[in-house]
Structure 1
Amino acid sequence: MRSRRVIYADTYRHRWHRWLFIASGILAALLLVGWWLQRNPRPDPATYPILGVRLDQTDGVQDFDRLRASKVSFVYLKATEGSSYFDDNFNTNFDQAAGSRLSIGVYHVFSFETTPQAQALQFERKVGSNIGDLPIGIYLSYYREEKPSAAWLTRHLTTFITLIQQQYHRPVLLMGSPEILKAVKTVASHAPRWMDSDQRPTGSGNFWQYTDGARIPNGPQAAYRAAVFMGKRSSFLRLAQ
């Protein structure tokens, strides 16, 4: 007598294949995430020995002694943005970084929505004297479709820098993409630039943020916005007050 085939045999087999496919996809995704965190695009340490990171509250509170042990030389901490935002972790990270013997910079994210006077007041009120020993950073980005003209940006940025320098008597560091830094090339023309680009910029005496998220060699199990100083150590030390 011919044996009967169980009516649900194919159903079970197809279901098993489907779950096997899903599990394989999840495993591949986990491996990709692991590779992403472990990858190390750091430029040649012999050419660019001075390594640093740019931090904000999304990075959490940091172990700065561990970063220093990983050959990180400097950190830039986000302090303020526009005329009302203050980074939640700024005070904690600043206090802890100050005890690590790292060079410290603080930066403000410039806004197109409010006046430079209001932004300078916010920076002074929230940061106080915690400005570290590196030039005060001003981060610029075209965060909306309608870009301000180069003339408008130059005028408002110059006003902000003037107010900050009147208060702190400290050089500034202009930070952002090559495109926006080109638009303000006449502003504080002797000040260093922090170039956020996956392509190595030309020139020396500037900072190159080579990644928006990657491991520090031998560092914590986290992805960082990492940068190198494009110049000699003596030039870097002259920037630190």
Structure 2
Amino acid sequence: MRSRVIYADTYRKRHQRRLFLLAVLIIALGALFVWWHQRNPRPDPQTYPVLGVRLDQTDGVQDFDSLRSSKVSFVYLKATEGSSYFDDNFNTNFNQAAGSRLSIGIYHVFSFETTPQAQAAQFTRQVGQNIGDLPIGIYLSYYTEKKPSTQWLTTQLQTFVTLVQQHYHRQVLLMGSPSILKAVQKVDSQAPRWVVSDKKPTTSSGFWQYTSGARLPNGPHADYRAAVFMGDRAAFLKLSQQIVN
């Protein structure tokens, strides 16, 4: 009888310890979850004073005055993708951003499945003259397991760039991971690059998208694809409405 009491007491203590450890684990995971969603990995604002965000329809319609209050200086809005897709929120966000005194860029997501001619026609048809004041962005990603050859990608992309520049006479901005930007390094080599990486790029110019989802300092309660310009404000202002022949 005595041994049963000792056993029951030992079992109770073990059970209590397990519950305690489980509670600690739940609290720790909760704290980690809150930290992850409230973290602010923004690079040093003294080194990179010009902050911006890249938006598409998954971000919804934005309050651009609120973004500006969060010290955001520019926005890049997704316009088109491939030869048939048009972002549902593009026109609304563009019109509202235009009244916010933010610098505006727009971008096209390049497709491997359709011709550059068809993509350029879709882009110019849907965008019209709403191209903002920053270089026209062209976003690139290896979204299929089979990567296109560097030669094919370079040729197709250069054709698209040429068609867009012939229509708008505006500088372009190539956007993507370090690996895909390296593959197209010969395409309009003088054009700025937008590097998507959680590590500081080796380049000292262009844009650095340092996160694909994080809070802005003192910003809205939402995660953003945030980026900084790799230069000072004077250099950033020189990008505005750069003309190419």
User: Normalization by structure 2: what TM-score?
Assistant: 0.88
Give the CA deviation at 1:205.
2.5
**Matched letter for residue 65 of structure 2:** D
Q: Secondary structure at the match of 1:211?
A: coil
Q: Which residue of 2 aligns with 1:223?
A: 223
Tell me if 1:153 matches 2:153.
yes
What is the alpha-carbon distance in structure 2 between the residues aligned to residue 57 and residue 18 of structure 1? Answer: 46
User: After the TM superposition, which residues 174-193 of structure 1 pair with which residues of structure 2 at under 5 Å, given as runs?
Assistant: 174-193=174-193
Structure 1 alignment gaps of length 5 or more? 1-14
Give the CA deviation at 1:24.
6.8
Q: Which residue of 1 aligns with 2:77?
A: 77
What is the alpha-carbon distance in structure 2 between the residues aligned to residue 207 and residue 27 of structure 1? Answer: 38
Q: Which residue of 1 aligns with 2:143?
A: 143
What is the alpha-carbon distance in structure 2 between the residues aligned to residue 216 and residue 20 of structure 1? Answer: 36
Structure 2 alignment gaps of length 5 or more? 1-14
CA contact (8 A) 1:48 1:228 kept: yes
Q: Which residue of 2 aligns with 1:169?
A: 169
Q: Secondary structure at the match of 2:94?
A: helix
Quick one: structure 1 residues 135 and 30, their matched pair in 2 at CA, closer, same or farther if it must change by over 3 Å?
same
Give the CA deviation at 1:22.
7.9
**Matched letter for residue 152 of structure 1:** W
Give the CA deviation at 1:25.
6.4
User: After the TM superposition, which residues 22-41 of structure 1 pair with which residues of structure 2 at under 5 Å, given as runs?
Assistant: 28-41=28-41
Deviations 1:174-207 (A, max 9, x none): 0000000000000000000000011111233310
**Matched letter for residue 175 of structure 1:** M
Quick one: structure 1 residues 22 and 149, their matched pair in 2 at CA, closer, same or farther if it must change by over 3 Å?
same
Q: Secondary structure at the match of 2:117?
A: helix
Q: Percent identity?
A: 74
**Matched letter for residue 199 of structure 2:** Q
User: Normalization by structure 1: what TM-score?
Assistant: 0.89
Q: Which residue of 2 aligns with 1:125?
A: 125
Q: Which residue of 2 aligns with 1:62?
A: 62
Query: How many pairs align?
Result: 237
What is the alpha-carbon distance in structure 1 between the residues aligned to residue 23 and residue 62 of structure 2? Answer: 34
What is the alpha-carbon distance in structure 2 between the residues aligned to residue 106 and residue 223 of structure 1? Answer: 20
Q: Which residue of 1 aligns with 2:196?
A: 196
User: After the TM superposition, which residues 37-56 of structure 1 pair with which residues of structure 2 at under 5 Å, given as runs?
Assistant: 37-56=37-56
Q: Secondary structure at the match of 2:211?
A: strand
**Matched letter for residue 231 of structure 1:** G
User: After the TM superposition, which residues 87-102 of structure 1 pair with which residues of structure 2 at under 5 Å, given as runs?
Assistant: 87-102=87-102
Deviations 1:4-33 (A, max 9, x none): xxxxxxxxxxx9999998877665554333
CA contact (8 A) 1:205 1:235 kept: no
**Matched letter for residue 211 of structure 1:** T
Q: Which residue of 2 aligns with 1:6?
A: none
Give the CA deviation at 1:37.
1.6
